[in-house]
Structure 1
Amino acid sequence: MTEGNHGPTARVLRLLDLLQSRPVWSGPELADRLGVTTRSVRRDVERLRDLGYPVNAEHGAAGGYQLGAGRRLPPLLLDDDEAVAVAVCLRLAAGGTVEGLGEAAVRTLAKLDQVLPSRLRGEVEAIHEATTTLDPTVPVVDSGTLLTLARAVRGTEQVRFDYSGPHGSGERRVEPYRLVATGRRWYLLGFDVDRDGWRTFRLDRISGLAPRGWRFRPRDAPDAAEFVQRAISQSAYEHVGRVRVSAPRSVVAQAIPPAAGTVTADGRSHCIVEAGGMDLDWMAMHFARLPWDFDVLGPPALRGAMRRLSERLARAST
């Protein structure tokens, strides 16, 4: 992450810094700044190209070296202050402070943490602990929990944690497979070793998380996004309603958040919406708010709730 002040590596970093500071440098200018020959400059330019940095070279009186745009991101070289700043920003984004960046931030933070010197981790932690957000209603996920799970997923390492779920609390031993973000809430898809099955876990209900120190052999895992979506929109509820909506899936999916229900195409002009709930009358009301015509597919008790709602609305309109 950080380099010494002597030797070819430090000189290449200095060359990169110079190329980023202005559009074009001549070979003699760079040699003078670096205290080397123009031949050494050419060798260092080749080293940058080998690392993935596209350095363009133009000959002639008006020519020189220029840092171009590449097809892929080269290795990122940061000094101490830049590394701390990036890590702090990634932690904020991972916690939901920056909408839409959560999953990418966790993946990047896991990679950065592998090479971040221990002397800088304390600085990152101190800045993060001194930072807060203005929306206390949003469930904040500890970035340390995210980072530990991201490392375990990447390293196929079993973890242990205490989990407080809707049906009780207890210790879990889990093979972590994927982190899934929905809105500003995070879930873990993992294989529960003691219960011998796939489970989803809300990260804000996890405490005492710790790696167990040994790796597991990956199993054939279900689709993480689909599994978590069904778990949070249906499996946790007493009733699951199914309706056939007279509108394309692409349109209906924009109106139904992933945590609220699943939308499956049923031909080009229709789709099936499935959603869970604890109270059928409330489910009827929410389905009735859809701005499209629909038919109730099940359960039969939902049709009864729809009739009751229709009768109430008819009485209220007279």
Structure 2
Amino acid sequence: MRLVTFTPRAGDGREIGDGRGTTRVGALVEDGVLDLSDALGVADLTELLRRDLLGAARDVVARGGGSVRSREAVRLEPPVRPRAVLCIGYNYRGHTGDVPDPEFPDVFVKTPNTVIGPEDRLLLPPESECVDYEAEVAVVIGRSCRAVTPATALDHVAGYTIFDDVSARDWQGRTSQWTLGKSFDTFGPLGPALVTPDELGDPQVLDVELRHNGRLTVSSSTARMIFTMADLVSYVSQAITLEPGDVIATGTPQKLPEALAAPAPLADGDVVEISITGLGTLRTAVTAAPDPRGSGAPR
């Protein structure tokens, strides 16, 4: 299944309602989006996972229960609203050159304010002059787990989606702690859909590509990961009880040599497109955010 959280649109393209409490959960089907909310009694995918309704959702999809909305009649939201996004640093061989593999995953956190959906805009903060992108597979937890082994870790995964770990590199480099540089508002595009494990297949053989304004700047495979997705779920669960809807972003491949040779920070009007085998494409438009301090405020 390919599950989404969405907001219905009115006939003129406006979102229905006041923008609060109007989300619904659905499954992408050939004709559009199959609305599952009435059949399952849930308003979004995070609630569906917390109530352990993946099996029930599969039954509804199999029998074609619920109404189908055209793709134009819905606005896709972030598939889930995680408590936090647990991110992995260097996890693709070659990401930082010819160096030994680390002994343990490098785990850091992005805050919930970063998460936006596939139809939201990434806002460039006036406080940073070096905003960068990354292309990552996101693991979405479906069942609570604590201290699981790698052999059983993926039994607790609801599915996978695409994540862009956006970073203000100038802020990230100010200190040894990356939190602020990683956690500006909108710095976590997520989506477009949660793809269940049975639909995706082996998550360790996925091609990962990123295009910045149409230029290919990242091209690799999850086969190059140092720590597999099962390893990461197991490792993080040794310290944190993972809950349904939690996200583990599994790291980014290194940029291609030609992209490294000519760095291009994100700018107003840019478009970032991340395509991953089986997960689709996450397309994010970039916009300069207004300066909340006024035009004369110091940086």
More strand by proportion, 1 or 2?
2
Report if TM-score (shorter chain) is over 0.5.
Answer: no
Structure showing greater Rg:
1
Greater RCO, CA 8 A, separation 6+: 2
More helix by proportion, 1 or 2?
1
- Per the normalisation by structure 2, the TM-score is 0.25
- Per the normalisation by structure 1, the TM-score is 0.24
